[in-house]
Amino acid sequence: MSLELYRETLATPIGKLILLCDTQANVRALDWWDFDERMHRLLDRQYAKGGWKMLDAAGESAALRALRAYFGGDLQALVALAVVTAGSPFQQSVWSGLRAIPVGQAWSYARLAEHLGCAGSARAVGSANGANPVGLILPCHRVIGANGQLTGYAGGIERKRWLLEHEGVLPRPLCGHSNAGRRLS
C-alpha cells in the first residue's frame, strides 16, 4: 500500500510552492514549483519509488493557510505545523533541530551541530540539511555559513535572502540596492 500525499499549491512573492500532506494532515513535503523533480527524488528516497502517490487535495489544509499567513507577515504561523519525515535517525535529528532556530535568527552549520550534541560535524549537518523534504517549515533557510555568508539553499540563494529579509535576519534592501556582501551577525 502506498502513502497517499495530497497536493496543494500556493503562489508566493518568490515563486509557487508545492505542499504535500498525508491523510492525517501532517506535512510530508514542501518545495518550490521549479524544484518539483528534487521533491520527487527526496520522496522516492524516503518512501521508496512507488511507495507514495500524489493526489490533488479536495480542500484547503491548515498547513496551506499557515503558509499564506507566514507570507502575509505572521512569522510564527509555521511553528506549530505537524511534520512527518522518513529520513535516517541522524537526518531526522537535524531536521527536528532546525525548529530550534528562532524566527529572526540565523545559525551556522557548526552552531546547529553543537545544538544537536555533535560538535565538529558541521558538514554532516549540512548534508542532512540539504536533504530536508519540508523546507521553510523546518527552516533550513536559517542556516548560514560560518563566515555569515548565505550558502546552500536548495530553493536558490535569492529565495533564501528574501526569506531572511522577510524574517528580519537581514535588512531589507533600499530601493535598487542589494544585500550582496552584507555580513550576518
* Those residues with Cβ within 8 angstroms of residue 109's Cβ, 6 or more apart along the chain or in another chain: 122, 123, 125, 126, 129, 143, 144, 145, 146
Q: Identify whether 145 is part of a domain.
A: yes
Q: Identify whether 11 is part of a domain.
A: yes
Query: 58-92 pLDDT, tens per residue?
Result: 999 999 999 999 999 999 999 999 999 998 999 99
pLDDT (average), residues 37-65: 92
Give the sheet arrangement for strand 27-32, strand by strand: 27-32, 15-21, 3-12, 52-56
pLDDT (average), residues 17-37: 95
- Our CA angle for 123, 124, 127, nearest 5°, is 85
Q: Identify whether 177 is part of a domain.
A: no
pTM: 0.89
Catalytic residue among 21, 118, 140, 175: 140
The range of the structural domain enclosing residue 121 comes to 89-166
Spatial contact of 29 and 83, defined as CB atoms under 8 Å apart: no
Is residue 167 scored above 90 in pLDDT?
yes
- Predicted local distance difference test score (pLDDT) of residue 174: 67
- Last-in-domain residue among 71, 100, 121: 71
Q: Identify whether 110 is part of a domain.
A: yes
Query: Does 140 participate in catalysis according to the annotation?
Result: yes
For residue 151, the domain's CATH number is 1.10.10.10
Q: Identify whether 44 is part of a domain.
A: yes
